[in-house]
Amino acid sequence: MRRSKLILCMILIFGFSTGCAHYLENAALKNIKPESGYRYKNISPGDNSDSLFVILTFSGGGTRAAAFSYGVLEKLRDTTIIWEGKEKRLLDEVDVISSVSGGSFTAAYYALRGDKVFTEFEGRFLNENIERALMTQLFYPANWFRLASPHYSRIDIAARYYDEHVFDHATFDDLRRKKPFILINATDMTLGSRFEFTQDQFDLLCSDMSGYPVARAVAASSAFPGLLSPVSLVNHAGKCGYREPGWVGNALRDRDIARARFARASQVRSYRDGKERPYIHLLDGGIADNIGLREPMYSLWSTDCPWSLLRMINLKKVHKIAIIVVNAKNETASAIDKKESPPGLLETLNVVANAPMDNYSFETIDLLQKGLDQWARDDAARKSCEKAIRQSCPQAALPGAAPHEVKFYPVVIGLDAIPDEKERRDLKNLPTSFSLPRKDTDRLRAAAGKLLDEAEGFRRLRSDLK
């Protein structure tokens, strides 16, 4: 009887303590320190040159996306180039990786471990049944009590698992302070806009992200609505002496002139009101941008971005820009159009969640291509005008300095470009999950390397870098 009472007492004490479980809060920041924290300007270039600027974007799509993006890293590792008189791997010239959801696992692991990703990532994540492991966590009594707390949810269990079994308790302070710079993207539930895990973003919350677990950022980036709950952050705004960038105030006065800039400034300003928004809740980054391309595009068209490519171009630091979009979008065969009865709840939710993301991704890629085409037309128009003026008046010249010439290499690879019909159908019908057989992850890796090798933009890039 005494032993039973002791065991019961211990269970009650354990249950009470775990029932008060709380998600890991992001730390407050006392003072803004631009010279510290995970920011682009604090990343060492090492042997990486700004003159050749390579951007990778990794899409969402669970393990399918992780394997597809991993195959691209392998291909870039095996591609030798000559740039500025030096022979090197093209992988060593990658400057920025912008990732979403499943692609964030690959990007984050590479940011932490560098080339060790090629010996560790398969065993740590790619060929592990992560889905089953997460389900198993729900059978642990300790987690029953934790989930009884209103401040602890399914996403915290997932983040805890990633932290222990994939990322070895690494924080953003552990990320390698050399290129590439990693943008792990989530979605702000209230704004429906991108939220990136960089110190520049955390400055808005007066929060220090140096001790924040990388696993929680990846968990937020891959928190698919319905399956996983949001990751929550505490907004400490107003306590660190943050000074708003000048462009924000200017943009808020120019609503009718530059609506996109106004919208971005409004989002920035919203984080500064800690009383109105004391908590920020984050979901899967694919909701706002499922291919991770929006921020690189913003960097290319605006000097407001903390790592503005446009500013680097204006300073004549960049000569060639390669943007490689790795889109692991699938197309699972559906029988809903073959039945008279309306689709069920799960089928409907799947369409509601995925169709808008896929359409938005297509439009984003189209917008990038149109922007680059316009850039080329503007450059050609100026050259044509200069030639015409010199023919009639050799001493005349157009006002202003000639724009710095940059050569662009847009590359988009996706499963729909696989030439073999059976292989294309098989890989496009792989589910969006965190569990795939090794034979399928191997096929995805091989397909990624082959598609990249055959992409027209990539062929031009390799030819120009010989």
Mind giving me the DSSP string for 76-118? Answer: HHT-EEEETTEEEEGGGGEEEEEEETHHHHHHHHHHHHGGGHH
What SS3 class is residue 315? coil
CA distance 187 to 267: 12
Residue-wise pLDDT tens digits, 428-464: 999 989 999 999 999 999 999 999 999 999 999 999 9
Q: 169: phi > 0 → left, psi -120 to 50 → alpha, else beta; which? A: left
Q: What are the tokens at 154?
A: 């399914």
Higher pLDDT, 331 or 130: 130
Q: How confident is the model at residue 5 (pLDDT cuts 50, 70, 90)?
A: very low
85-107 mean pLDDT: 97
Round the average pLDDT of the chain to a whole number and report it.
89
Region 151-170: what's the mean pLDDT?
Answer: 95
Q: Mean of the pLDDT values across residues 64-84?
A: 97
Kindly indicate the confidence band of residue 357, based on its pLDDT and cuts at 50, 70 and 90.
low
Q: What percent of the chain has a predicted confidence (pLDDT) above 90?
A: 70
Q: What's the rounded mean pLDDT across residues 122-141?
A: 92
pLDDT for 20: 72
Confidence at 160, pLDDT banded by 50, 70, 90: very high
Which pLDDT score is estimated for 351?
Answer: 57
pLDDT at residue 375, as a whole number = 85
Would you state the pLDDT for residue 74? Answer: 98
Q: Using CB atoms within 10 A of its CB, is residue 363 exposed (0-12), middle (13-18) or buried (19+)?
A: exposed
User: Which H/E stretch holds residue 413?
Assistant: strand 407-414
So what's the pLDDT on residue 386?
A: 81
pLDDT value for 13: 42
The pLDDT, as a whole number, for residue 145 is 84
Closest by CA position to 408, among listed 293, 313, 305, 295: 313
> What's the whole-number mean pLDDT along residues 22-46?
93
Per-residue confidence (pLDDT) for residue 256, from 0 to 100: 86
Percent of the chain, pLDDT > 70? Answer: 90
The pLDDT value recorded for residue 434 is 93
The pair of three-digit structure tokens given for residue 378, joined into one six-digit string: 């503007």
Which pLDDT does position 355 carry in this prediction? Answer: 57
pLDDT at 10: 43
- Residue 359 pLDDT: 65
Supply the pTM of this predicted model: 0.91
* pLDDT, tens digit (0-9, with 9 covering 90-100), for 365-415: 888 889 988 888 888 888 888 888 888 888 777 777 777 889 999 999 999
Contact (Cβ atoms closer than 8 angstroms) between residue 170 and residue 87: no
pLDDT-derived band at 353 (thresholds 50, 70, 90) equals low
